[in-house]
Amino acid sequence: QQQVKQSPQSLIVQKGGISIINCAYENTAFDYFPWYQQFPGKGPALLIAIRPDVSEKKEGRFTISFNKSAKQFSLHIMDSQPGDSATYFCAASKSYGGSQGNLIFGKGTKLSVKP
């Protein structure tokens, strides 16, 4: 019940295309769903996050779509660029006291955007 399942494991997209990464969770108590971007040799950086009270959140080229009934959420990267090539992690947690330390992470998706 604590797992977050992420797919695909790797993804190759042409420059200008749309990258889509999917995640599914089981624990209905989760109420915070962030996406992290990690470049080689760096720690993960928060990209965008969503709570279950909305079905979509957009920040620039990055959009999270959230389906509460299906317990699924996805990251869409529009107009993908070579600079977006990184590993992306979805995560989920039960918020408490405003701090999100106990995140359950997916296994990651390695995105390569070809020029």
Q: Tell me which residues touch other proteins (CB under 8 A).
A: 32, 34, 36, 41-46, 49, 89, 95, 97-103, 105-108
* Closer residue to other proteins in complex, CB, 54/78: 54
* Least distance (Å) between residue 15 CB and other proteins: 26
What is the SS3 assignment for the chain? CCCEEEECCEEEEECCCCEEEEEEECCCCCCEEEEEEECCCCCCEEEEEECCCCCEEEECCEEEEEECCCCEEEEEECCCCHHHCEEEEEEEECCECCECCCCEECCCEEEEEEC
Report the candidate in 52, 38, 27, 28 with the shortest Cα–Cα distance to residue 107. Answer: 38
* Closer residue to other proteins in complex, CB, 37/80: 37
* Closer residue to other proteins in complex, CB, 76/107: 107
* Least distance (Å) between residue 108 CB and other proteins: 6
* Least distance (Å) between residue 1 CB and other proteins: 14
* Least distance (Å) between residue 79 CB and other proteins: 25
* Closer residue to other proteins in complex, CB, 18/54: 54
